[in-house]
Amino acid sequence: MGYGPLPILLRRLALVPILVFVVAAATYALTHVAPGDPVKIIGGARQVDPEQAELIREEFGLHGSYAERFGRYVWGVVSEGDLGPSYYYRSPKRSVQELLGERIWVSAHINLMVLALIFGLGIPIGVYVAVNRGTWKDPATIGFLKIFDSVPSPIMIVLVVWLMVEFLAPFFNFFGFNVPAAWTPGDPASYIVPLVALSIGAFGGMGRFVRISMLATMDEDYVRTARAKGLNERYILYRHVLRNGLLPLSTNFGLAVVGVIAGSIVIETRYGIPGVGAFIFESITQRDWNVILGFTLLVATLIIVANALIDVVYIFIDPRIRFTERIA
C-alpha cells in the first residue's frame, strides 16, 4: 500500500475489528478459564449434583468445549448484540446487555460532563502555566493541583462530600443549592459531588501535559518567524502555538476516559449513583463474570474505536503523521 492519507486511514480502520477480537478472546479466556467452575457461582451455596450442573451449564451457555462456548459467545455478540446471561440476576433471568443498558445512561452523562470539565478547565490551566513559565506561578499551580492527583478515589469521594456538605454548605445555600450527602435523582445539586470528585485529580496532569506540548511548540521555527515578523504575542499564542500545541492532547483522550471510568466505579458506589460503575463493583463482589466480561469488552471497544477515530482526525489535521508511534 502507498503512503497517501487514504491507505493509512483504511489500514488504521481495518485494525479496529482485529484488535477488538483479540482483546475479546483474551478477556473471555481470562474470565472463563481461571475462576474455576461458574456452576458453583450460579448454584450459590447449594450442593449441585452432576445432572443439575449439566442443566445449569446448558441454560447459561456453558456446555460443550471451550471453543464451542467461545464461538457461541462471539456469535451471540455479533449477530444480536447478546452479551449472555448474568450469573447473579437469574430469577427472573436477566441478560448482561439489559442490566448494563439500564444503568449506562446515568454513568455516561456524568462521565461525559466530567470529561468536558477535565478538558475545558485543564487546557486553560496548561496555557496559563505555559505562559507564566519561569515564574513562581508555574510550579505553584501545578504543584497545588498535583495534591489532588495524589488522593486515591476512595479517600477523595469522602473528603469531597465532607467539603461540600459540611464546609461549603452556606456557599451553596446562598445560590439556592443544598448538596445532598448521597445521590438524589432529579436534584441538580447532587451532580456537584461526583463531578468534583471525578475531575479534580486530572487537572494537574492535564495542565502539565498541555504546558509541555505548548513549550515544545514555542521553540518551533515558525513561532520564531512569527515573532520576527513583529506579530502581537497574544496573536502568536492563540494562532500559532495553541493550535499546534493542543494536537498531542488527543492522545490523552483515551487515557482520560479510562481514568474517569475506573474512578466512577468507586465514586458511584460510595455516592449511591445507580450507574454502571456501582453495578460493576457489585458484580465483582458477586463474582458475576459475564457482567464483568461484558463491561470490560464494552470499555475496551470504546477505547479502541475512540483511539482509531482520533488517529483518523489526526491524519486530516496534521499532515506530518507517519504512524511511527501509536498503533492502537
Partner 1 sequence: MTARSEHTDTWAMPDRPETPFRRGLRALLHKRVAVVSILVIFVLYGAGTYTFLDAFGVDTGLQDPTKTNLSERRSTRIVDGEPESLGVFAERLAVDIALISELNPDLAEQFGPLTPSTVLPGQTEIVLGVDETLQPPSSRHWFGTDRTGRDLFSRSLFSLRTTVIITVIAVILGDFVIGLGLGLLSGYRGGRLDSAIMRLADLVLAMPGLVYLIVIVAVFRDRVTEWFRALEESTGADWLIAQGVDDYVLIVAATSLLGWAGAARFYRGQVLSLRERDFILAAETIGARTPRILVRHLFPGVMPWFVVGFSAAMGAMAGAEVVLTWLGIGITAPTPSFGTMVAAAGGFTSLTQYPWMLLVPTLFVLPILLAFNLLGDAITDVLNPRLR
Residue 178 CB, nearest approach to partner 1 (Å): 15
Interaction between residue 270 and partner 1 (CB under 8 A): yes
Single out the segment in contact with partner 1 by CB under 8 A; choices: 42-50, 68-76, 113-121, 158-166: 158-166
Residue 105 CB, nearest approach to partner 1 (Å): 19
Q: Which is nearer to partner 1, 1 or 230 (CB)?
A: 1
Interaction between residue 259 and partner 1 (CB under 8 A): yes
Q: Which of 48, 242, 246, 300 binds partner 1 (CB under 8 A)?
A: 300
Residue 51 CB, nearest approach to partner 1 (Å): 26
Quickly count: other Cβ atoms within 10 Å of residue 292's Cβ.
20
Quickly count: other Cβ atoms within 10 Å of residue 176's Cβ.
7
Q: Which of 134, 185, 230, 319 binds partner 1 (CB under 8 A)?
A: 134
- 8 Å CB contact between 77 and 67: no
Interaction between residue 265 and partner 1 (CB under 8 A): yes
Find, among 151, 118, 112, 152, the residue nearest to 261 by Cα: 112
- Cα 84 to Cα 61, 205, 247, 293, 308: the distances in Å are 8, 38, 40, 10, 27
Look up cell 455516592; give the residue: 271
Q: Which is nearer to partner 1, 95 or 217 (CB)?
A: 217
Q: Which is nearer to partner 1, 54 or 253 (CB)?
A: 253
d(CA 270, CA 158) in angstroms, rounded, equals 8
For the residues of 82-138, what is the DSSP string, one character each?
A: ---EEEEEETTEEEHHHHHHHHHHHHHHHHHHHHHHHHHHHHHHHHHHHHTTTSTHH
Interaction between residue 184 and partner 1 (CB under 8 A): no
Single out the segment in contact with partner 1 by CB under 8 A; choices: 85-93, 111-119, 207-215, 234-242: 207-215
Interaction between residue 220 and partner 1 (CB under 8 A): no
Cβ within 8 Å of residue 326, ≥6 positions away: 251, 307, 311
Q: Which one-letter DSSP state was computed for residue 47?
A: -
C-alpha cell at 97: 446487555
Interaction between residue 45 and partner 1 (CB under 8 A): no
59: enclosing H helix or E strand: helix 50-59
Interaction between residue 69 and partner 1 (CB under 8 A): no
Residue 162 CB, nearest approach to partner 1 (Å): 5
**Residue 289 φ/ψ, nearest 5 degrees:** -60, -35
Q: Which of 64, 81, 152, 173 binds partner 1 (CB under 8 A)?
A: 152
Pairing of strands 93-95, 85-90: antiparallel
Interaction between residue 143 and partner 1 (CB under 8 A): yes
255: enclosing H helix or E strand: helix 251-271
Interaction between residue 146 and partner 1 (CB under 8 A): yes
Single out the segment in contact with partner 1 by CB under 8 A; choices: 116-124, 225-233, 245-253, 298-306: 298-306
Binding site for partner 1 (CB under 8 A): 19, 22-23, 26-27, 30-31, 34-36, 133-134, 139, 142-143, 146-147, 149-155, 158-159, 161-162, 165-166, 181, 204, 208, 212, 215-216, 219, 257-259, 261-262, 265-266, 270, 281, 284-285, 287, 289, 292, 295-296, 299-300, 303-304, 307, 325, 327-328
